[in-house]
Amino acid sequence: MPLVRWTLPGLAVLLCLATITSRPVIAAGHKTSAVKIYLVNIHGKGLSCGGGLVSVVRRIPPTRAPLTAALRQLLANRHPCGEAGPCSAFANSRLTIRRVAVVHGVAVIHFSGALYLGGVCDAPRVRGQLRATALQFPAVHTVSVYINGRPLDRVLSPRGNRGRS
């Protein structure tokens, strides 16, 4: 694999992309746009522990940060799993989006706050909801998620989390 050399302007562009804030830029005077969020259907298929994902369309104001807007909509859903209808594994969590950037097909998402899991089945639900919500965008091929600076897989590990981050 060849060594990549960065020029000063190239590094400046990369740093700018990596520090994109999570606040969407709203374009005034345009019609609303739509994003999908992915919720859990406990009677569906595709996730471990049973259940699957279902997409739900949410209308949003036009934005240059649709992934951030979709993640906000996902976190805003407070319908806990265990009740009828599509639910969210994030229903009891208190997460804030800190930073979202898409660089070379990789969506890097940073949250802060507390992730509260309702049980062992919530770990694959959390992974699935975040991954599917991010992968709806053509520019996203891979998703890396961090909570309080820790990789999502480490946060969701039974040894590394104990139910919250």
Tell me the per-residue pLDDT of 80-100, one tens digit each, with 9 for 90 and over.
887 678 999 999 999 999 999
Contact 77, 89 (CB under 8 A): no
Helices H / strands E in the chain, number of each: 5, 6
| Domain span holding position 99 | 31-161
Low-confidence ranges of the chain (pLDDT < 70): 1-32, 83, 159-165
How does 95-107 read in b/e, with b if 16+ C-beta sit within 10 Å?
A: bebbbbbbeeeeb
In a domain, 71, yes or no: yes
Chain-wide mean pLDDT for the chain?
Answer: 82
State residue 49's pLDDT score: 83
In a domain, 126, yes or no: yes
C-alpha 112/C-alpha 149 separation (Å) is: 8
In a domain, 9, yes or no: no
Backbone dihedral angles phi then psi of residue 124, each to the nearest 5 degrees: -65, -25
In a domain, 114, yes or no: yes
State residue 84's pLDDT score: 78
In a domain, 15, yes or no: no
In a domain, 103, yes or no: yes
H or E element, residue 113: strand 106-114
State residue 127's pLDDT score: 97
pTM above 0.85, yes or no: no
State residue 83's pLDDT score: 66
The tokens for 116 are 């509260």
In a domain, 22, yes or no: no
In a domain, 54, yes or no: yes
State residue 160's pLDDT score: 58
Tens of pLDDT along 26-51? 344 445 699 999 999 988 899 888 78
Give how many domains the chain has, as a whole number. 1
Residue type, 138: P
